[in-house]
Amino acid sequence: MRIATWNVNSVKARLGNVTEWLDSAKPDVVLFQEIKCETAAFPLQAFQDLGYHCAVVGQKAYNGVALLSREEPTDIITRLPGEPEDEQARYVEATVGGIRIASLYLPNGNPVGTEKYPYKLRWMDRLKAHASSLLAQEVPFVLGGDYNVIPEARDVYDPAAWITDALFRPETRAKFREITHLGLVEAFRAVHPDAERAFTFWDYQAGAWPRDNGLRIDHFLLSPQAADRLVGCAIDKGPRGQEKASDHTPVVLELAV
């Protein structure tokens, strides 16, 4: 099973790029973040024409996530538990092929001195609690998406420049470690423990892409049962180099069936 995660930074603006990549890469499951459209405005037909069923949680102009799969997803949930008043479209989860799979878009958290950073940390606490609940069920699961977390110094082109940013603050990284220390496996690092300058995001500003000034903020966290099936995890930089590209590029996870 090949599972891809990709922050597409507006699915309608990047539709040609996205469908071209899907037609070529042919993942079994696709996790989108930042679709930036309401659920009803999602370009459903374009993805159905490629053979995908779609579970979409949209929001006007901001956020939005989707889970696409060749097999029809079941038992879909459209909100991360723990804060019922939170209406931001950041989470969708379903069962595909006997695996619970989630597409998540963790809050950015900047500027740190505003309510956005406490919201980010609360969201991470909720994700930890939900992961604990899934672990207790002893089912294989995959939590994939844009975590807006730089786990280590080698995951950013200039660590010193990012130390006060919400993505790299010590509190953020500590929360991320709390989640992984539940017993989850961060797939890319499990497969590529020594990789350097392995980035998934390059800003549109300051020549970040041609200079390879990137961040690794898109991750897959696997339960022990899913990690036992881990075959590979790779960053596909190709889409980032195209015209009208998203500022993120796909990450592809491969699990044995």
Binding annotation: 7, 34, 146, 148, 247-248
CA 96-83-220 angle, 5° bins: 40
Q: What are phi and psi of 9, to 5 degrees?
A: 55, 55
Side-chain-side CA neighbours of 108 within 13 Å: the count stands at 10
Helical H segments across 138-246, by residue range: 159-162, 170-180, 187-191, 224-227
Q: Is 75 a catalytic residue?
A: no
Would you call 181 a catalytic residue per the annotation? Answer: no
Q: Which residue ranges are tagged as binding site for Mg(2+)? A: 7, 34, 146, 148, 247-248
Q: Is 91 a catalytic residue?
A: no
Burial label, 125 (beta-carbon count in 10 A; 0-12, 13-18, 19+): middle
- Tell me the CA distances in angstroms from 88 to 37, 50, 80, 105, 149, one per residue in order: 12, 28, 10, 10, 19
DSSP conformation class of 72: P
Tokens of 112: 């740190």
Q: Which one from 28, 117, 146, 165 is the annotated catalytic residue?
A: 146
Contact criterion met (CB below 8 Å) for 65 and 6: no
Total count of residues recorded for the chain? 257
161 Cβ contact list (under 8 Å, min separation 6): none
Pair of tokens at residue 104: 């998540």
Of the residues 53, 130, 219, 248, only one is catalytic, namely 248
List 28, 53, 91, 105, catalytic entry: 105
What distance in Å separates the CA atoms of residue 51 and residue 76, rounded to the nearest whole number?
A: 19
3-class state of residue 253 by DSSP: strand
Please identify every residue annotated as catalytic: 105, 146, 248
